[in-house]
Amino acid sequence: MWAAGRFPGKDIPLYVIAQVVGATLAAAALYYIASGAGEVTGLATNGFGDRSPGGFSLASCFAAEVLLTCFFLIVITGSTEDAATASFAPISIGLCLTLIHLISIPITNTSVNPARSTGPALIEGGEAIQQLWLFWLAPILGGLVGGYLHRHVLKARADS
């Protein structure tokens, strides 16, 4: 959202901390609840290679996360423009996120949000933490590209 000109850079660190703390608390709560049925075998942590649900390579997982995050940011920014009908924004954003999950759960277990990836990885530990770097790098890159495209290409075309 910063790259789209919709979020002040000075607020990014506190926002990231709040997101990661919230995601970690949610993952801990999920782990606690799931452990009531016995051994917890995973928290839908993200992964590539052997940790990918479909065995997808690092390169495939990276490409999927960058592209899907980019498209998601374009849908979010476009749906929430002043010229857009505000009542349709939750529908378009929700349907887009549903589609993203349908596409990427078999590939990476769906990140498109570094905090969403960090919470479960911190609770699970091990390889989930070792592969976490990808699920920070790819969504951040995808978000920056999506925000830039919206601000400097799509919005600029609509304004002219």
Q: Is residue 132 part of a domain?
A: yes
Residue bearing the bigger pLDDT, 134 or 160? 134
113-134 burial code (b ≥16 CB/10 A, e <16): bbbbbbbbbbbbeeebeebbeb
Residue bearing the bigger pLDDT, 61 or 154? 61
Where residue 160 falls among pLDDT bands split at 50, 70, 90? low
Q: Is residue 21 part of a domain?
A: yes
CATH number of the CATH domain containing 73? 1.20.1080.10
Structure tokens at 131: 């592969």
For residue 70, the Cα-to-chain-centroid distance in whole angstroms is 10
User: What per-residue confidence (pLDDT) applies to 49?
Assistant: 98
Q: Is residue 32 part of a domain?
A: yes
CA atoms within 13 A on the CB side of 8: 3
Q: Is residue 81 part of a domain?
A: yes
Residue bearing the bigger pLDDT, 130 or 87? 130
User: What per-residue confidence (pLDDT) applies to 23?
Assistant: 97
Least confident piece of the model among 28-42, 65-79, 109-123, 146-160: 146-160
User: What per-residue confidence (pLDDT) applies to 16?
Assistant: 95
Q: Is residue 2 part of a domain?
A: no
User: What per-residue confidence (pLDDT) applies to 158?
Assistant: 61
- In angstroms, rounded to a whole number, what is the distance separating the alpha carbons of residues 94 and 103? 14
Domains: count for the chain: 1
- In angstroms, rounded to a whole number, what is the distance separating the alpha carbons of residues 73 and 96? 10
Where residue 41 falls among pLDDT bands split at 50, 70, 90? confident
Q: Is residue 3 part of a domain?
A: no
Q: Is residue 61 part of a domain?
A: yes
Q: Is residue 154 part of a domain?
A: yes
Where residue 156 falls among pLDDT bands split at 50, 70, 90? low
Residue bearing the bigger pLDDT, 160 or 111? 111
Range of the domain at 79: 9-159
Where residue 84 falls among pLDDT bands split at 50, 70, 90? confident
Where residue 141 falls among pLDDT bands split at 50, 70, 90? very high
| Residue 152 neighbours by CB under 8 Å, 6+ apart | none
